[in-house]
Structure 1
């Protein structure tokens, strides 16, 4: 019967009608294949033409910048004066202008020359405004000469600006061709506040394409090189800022942070950086690095300062937290910078004598701030406190030692340095008390100022009012309870990064603070939740749309390939990774990828749940602050950062939590620390082992974290670490003959 059926089928196939149908089907299949191939080829050709067009825009923009470099400007500043200028922190530069030690023009010319050299050598710069900055400096000097007054706490100081902040006459390219040749008509809000305070934007710093990776690389400005080792990345997305500051080519800079973008380059370039509480800052005047329609709000970006000492970081925050910001952006709570908390970690305590202290007219809101301002001097001093050691006292009397490093020869020479610790001593003297002496020593019957008196009145800092007949009581930093961890199960720290935390813990313990081990609960859950929220669109759609036809940078390739993986392939890969014990890879694969609206809301809920668990653990441990590595590895080789995504959990966890965090440089990788070990057996470990070779001499820092809205306390702890362990050094530019 089967053979008969086969014979009948063969006869049917041989009929003219069946043959015609078969032939038509074959022809249709061929036509479809040809049409599909033609369409694919046409799309690829169109894409390549678009890529070439966008590359041309990038080349034109860079050529425009380079042409401006050919217009010379003179740096007629004595070399010894230049060396002095780059050795001083910003607040002492302003004092130098006021005391006629040097002029704003001399400061600006010095830094313009260094920034030009730095940009040519390390690709740190985007657009440069050296000539305009020199003219602004002349105007600042003329203003001071005619009025005897300073414009503000940044009077005549050159400020470098990340290529994301809107600035009059400049493109905010975000490393993207589509944003070239669209200069801002006015300064953005945050740049405007810097100018109002007397600052002079003089150079814009290089960034990654679209700002979303920790390697600063784009087709406009090129790849930023780490000045300690040019085979290593500078970090990102504020990588250009890190390079400029590491080379003493800028005294102070503006960065942003959505996943470690201030703290990672600060850590890898050996500088200081601070990420404020996002809800306490405005994003008005910041250009979005992706599609304008990308309304992601689960992980908030935030602007913050990057500098060469903690004291200078606070100047930027004081310039930003003013009425002009709150009036322009009413969604930001009115919380002025609280100097009492920053200087002394002063915290509110119950008191019945609050009526003796008049309210401060400029305090507008914030329960912690209001409670602190309502304290009497006696209630402030009743907090547990410690007196700085004799060694700390000597540090305040003399400049910090600094190392100028010649990257060609590896030689290091001792130079004069940033004397940021002296701010604490001068503060005590101005306020009528001595931080190094536990006994009260009133020197004046006037109300003591907390903060620099350089600009006079309440604008310089908060006033602690007291009854006229009361003898002043000295304010002393209180004893803190600080948590710490050196490594995590998700991605173990390298020896140098763990040692950095251990050294800080030992120093703070010796200083009288209480250090307790504390590891964030379920850190892997937090890290994977953040990755899930930032990768919810298929094929990096928000990124691709923002590029408008420009080719996606190769630094994004691992992320892109992961984003286009089908659900079935993703599940199969994750299951396979789990069977082989590679649970880090499995977790990352499951967390990333396209999500529908419900799944995205599930991740929002996961984020809220994790925040609650973190705060509960923090409060149960009764912590004031937390210290941990900023990154588990020193600066990585080029094109490896996107392949080591789990390593970023130390930094981006605190973006998920929306808490303030900062990075403080404390040490360098030793020759015997160029290694890495892990219990994990996967590609991440293999790459970390490879990346750890050749890292001797690279800077390593620690990260400081506080709870939301406790920014001043975070900066206070950063200052404590700076005074005991902080580095103050810069990389040489052409044997430092800048």
Structure 2
């Protein structure tokens, strides 16, 4: 019967199959054509964005040359050599003009950009703002200081791209609160700096504006995601810059580039007008913060920002002014310290920096006690990564699907492309020989439901309490610990997300944390790196070794941490570390 039916129906079946095949082929062809058109449109958007940037930089160069012709006597080298506090003093007393400072830094920034590709755009409105500043009767704490800002900190009429092509069409309708307060305090934002695609990476490259490199070694990255800021300030093209920090994005560029950077307690400074690729993540709080060449510049910046204007423009920022008494105190501190978090063993130079700094602090009269942060592996995988990628990374992956993925991000995007079920299967398969990757893959699956997200947030609060209890049990004022470094060779950050456990931890906890450079990589460090096995001897430990090799002479930093809302104490501790390290370098040089 079936045979007879097939015999009778076969001509129609053949027709139907031909139709299906034709439709399938047409659909595939249409899909490929649509994809090609989409990619072509993206490429045109990229070309236009680059053209606009080049035009802006050309405009910047033109006004600099005009100023130099009209003012040939400006001592540029002198202006660039001044620390922020001294520069501010000379601007206020009138021995330096705001014009000479602005155009000097504009010229230097252009030169730096030619070397390291750190600027995303020039802010031509800075010239008009300069004239407005001169008319003001009251001069703010940052009067006449040119400042740089990270890509996603809104400046009216300019883009906040987050390194994504899909964000190239939306201009900011108003200034972020941070920019508005800076202007009211006399500062003058003059350039916007480059970031990695999506911000969620500690390299600094995107498919629109390309790779930013480290000014100290062009074969290495400047860190991220505030990498453009780090490169520009480190090379002298800006005296004060502003980044943001969700997992180390201020502290990592500061470490890689040899700067001082502060991640304040989230909520201490306004985040209004600071957009991310994914807004609304509450499990891990992010914050904006300053980056500069010295700690005193960070403190001056915080004094300026923690003002009535900040509290009125953003009523969610607690009206707590800068506590000068805490910052200026010379009372001995009780300092906890550790050289490894037990999760990721850093290179020998980073651990040496902690021990040398510990010794200096002890000799200066402070009390140093060992401190072991609790359950860091649990905090990073089960709390931080699971909270940041609560949706399994689907929102972020959808953004990359509508973009051209930068080569630096491809390994990271490859993880997001793996279906959740496959991630779980892979995690079970690799666990015996690569347990950290297994935990990482499971964490990237996110949470199953809203109830699970609530439970996760509850676990974060419980972990914070556990950490604080251990801190108080040891009667600590502050903690000294490592920060990731030295600067990585290019293309490594996407393959080593877990290596930033030392910075991610304090985002999860919402503790203020800052970075201070204290030494440089030595030949002995490099030799010891050859024997580095890490805690596990797995591919991540081997990759870290490759990422940092050949770094002799590059900066090495430490991380200084305080309890929430004790930002001034954190800065005071940073200042102490900076001073003692500086004294040691002077003694060695004599």
Q: TM-score, normalised by structure 2?
A: 0.91
> Do the aligned partners of residues 181 and 574 (structure 1) sit closer, same or farther apart at CA in structure 2, a change above 3 Å counting?
closer
Gaps of 5+ in 1: 1-11, 345-476, 730-738
Q: Rg bigger for which structure?
A: 1
What is residue 653 of structure 1 aligned with on the other side? 505
Q: Secondary structure at the match of 2:431?
A: helix
> Do the aligned partners of residues 288 and 619 (structure 1) sit closer, same or farther apart at CA in structure 2, a change above 3 Å counting?
same
Aligned counterparts of 2:245 and 2:73: Cα–Cα separation in 1: 36
After superposition, the C-alpha distances for 1:392-423 in whole angstroms (9 at most, x for unaligned) are xxxxxxxxxxxxxxxxxxxxxxxxxxxxxxxx
Spell out the pairing of 1:36-435 with structure 2 (5 A cutoff): 36=24, 38-71=26-59, 72=62, 73-74=64-65, 76=68, 81-129=75-123, 132-134=125-127, 136-137=129-130, 140=133, 142-143=134-135, 151-290=139-278, 294-344=279-329
2:533–2:542 CA contact under 8 A, matched in 1: no
> Do the aligned partners of residues 692 and 37 (structure 1) sit closer, same or farther apart at CA in structure 2, a change above 3 Å counting?
farther
1:61–1:181 CA contact under 8 A, matched in 2: no
Alpha-carbon shift at residue 176 of structure 1 (Å): 2.0
> Do the aligned partners of residues 188 and 567 (structure 1) sit closer, same or farther apart at CA in structure 2, a change above 3 Å counting?
closer
Q: Secondary structure at the match of 1:715?
A: helix
Alpha-carbon shift at residue 161 of structure 1 (Å): 0.9
Query: After alignment, is 30-39 or 484-493 more displaced?
Result: 30-39
After superposition, the C-alpha distances for 1:78-122 in whole angstroms (9 at most, x for unaligned) are 799322222222111011123343222111111110101111211
2:74–2:100 CA contact under 8 A, matched in 1: no
1:177–1:547 CA contact under 8 A, matched in 2: no
> Do the aligned partners of residues 80 and 109 (structure 1) sit closer, same or farther apart at CA in structure 2, a change above 3 Å counting?
closer
Aligned counterparts of 2:154 and 2:120: Cα–Cα separation in 1: 13
Aligned counterparts of 2:16 and 2:440: Cα–Cα separation in 1: 43
What is residue 572 of structure 2 aligned with on the other side? 716
> Do the aligned partners of residues 568 and 286 (structure 1) sit closer, same or farther apart at CA in structure 2, a change above 3 Å counting?
closer
> Do the aligned partners of residues 188 and 692 (structure 1) sit closer, same or farther apart at CA in structure 2, a change above 3 Å counting?
closer
What is residue 522 of structure 2 aligned with on the other side? 670
Query: After alignment, is 323-332 or 304-313 more displaced?
Result: 323-332
Alpha-carbon shift at residue 191 of structure 1 (Å): 0.2
After superposition, the C-alpha distances for 1:662-705 in whole angstroms (9 at most, x for unaligned) are 11111111123232332423221221122232211221211111
> Do the aligned partners of residues 326 and 586 (structure 1) sit closer, same or farther apart at CA in structure 2, a change above 3 Å counting?
same
Q: Secondary structure at the match of 2:267?
A: helix
Are 1:536 and 2:390 counterparts? yes
Alpha-carbon shift at residue 718 of structure 1 (Å): 0.6
After superposition, the C-alpha distances for 1:639-660 in whole angstroms (9 at most, x for unaligned) are 2111101101011111111111
Aligned counterparts of 2:29 and 2:193: Cα–Cα separation in 1: 38
What is residue 624 of structure 1 aligned with on the other side? 477
Q: Secondary structure at the match of 1:118?
A: helix
Alpha-carbon shift at residue 35 of structure 1 (Å): 4.5
What is residue 438 of structure 2 aligned with on the other side? 586
Are 1:641 and 2:493 counterparts? yes
Aligned counterparts of 1:97 and 1:153: Cα–Cα separation in 2: 10
Alpha-carbon shift at residue 258 of structure 1 (Å): 0.8
Alpha-carbon shift at residue 574 of structure 1 (Å): 1.7
Alpha-carbon shift at residue 54 of structure 1 (Å): 2.0
After superposition, the C-alpha distances for 1:322-358 in whole angstroms (9 at most, x for unaligned) are 22222232222221111111111xxxxxxxxxxxxxx
> Do the aligned partners of residues 39 and 727 (structure 1) sit closer, same or farther apart at CA in structure 2, a change above 3 Å counting?
farther
2:343–2:535 CA contact under 8 A, matched in 1: no
Q: Secondary structure at the match of 1:280?
A: coil
Aligned counterparts of 2:73 and 2:417: Cα–Cα separation in 1: 56
Are 1:507 and 2:351 counterparts? no
After superposition, the C-alpha distances for 1:595-627 in whole angstroms (9 at most, x for unaligned) are 321333332233222212111111111111111
Alpha-carbon shift at residue 593 of structure 1 (Å): 1.6
> Do the aligned partners of residues 94 and 35 (structure 1) sit closer, same or farther apart at CA in structure 2, a change above 3 Å counting?
same
Q: Secondary structure at the match of 2:189?
A: strand
What is residue 688 of structure 1 aligned with on the other side? 544
Q: Secondary structure at the match of 1:512?
A: coil
1:487–1:629 CA contact under 8 A, matched in 2: yes
Aligned counterparts of 1:315 and 1:628: Cα–Cα separation in 2: 25
After superposition, the C-alpha distances for 1:230-264 in whole angstroms (9 at most, x for unaligned) are 11111111100000110111010111111111001
> Do the aligned partners of residues 518 and 22 (structure 1) sit closer, same or farther apart at CA in structure 2, a change above 3 Å counting?
farther
1:127–1:205 CA contact under 8 A, matched in 2: yes
Are 1:551 and 2:545 counterparts? no
Query: After alignment, is 15-24 or 587-596 more displaced?
Result: 15-24
Q: Secondary structure at the match of 1:211?
A: coil
Q: TM-score, normalised by structure 1?
A: 0.73
Q: Secondary structure at the match of 2:248?
A: coil
Aligned counterparts of 1:69 and 1:332: Cα–Cα separation in 2: 35
Gaps of 5+ in 2: 586-590
Q: Secondary structure at the match of 1:209?
A: coil
Alpha-carbon shift at residue 138 of structure 1 (Å): 5.3
Aligned counterparts of 1:531 and 1:29: Cα–Cα separation in 2: 48
Aligned counterparts of 2:319 and 2:426: Cα–Cα separation in 1: 49
1:104–1:156 CA contact under 8 A, matched in 2: yes
Alpha-carbon shift at residue 489 of structure 1 (Å): 2.2
Alpha-carbon shift at residue 573 of structure 1 (Å): 1.8
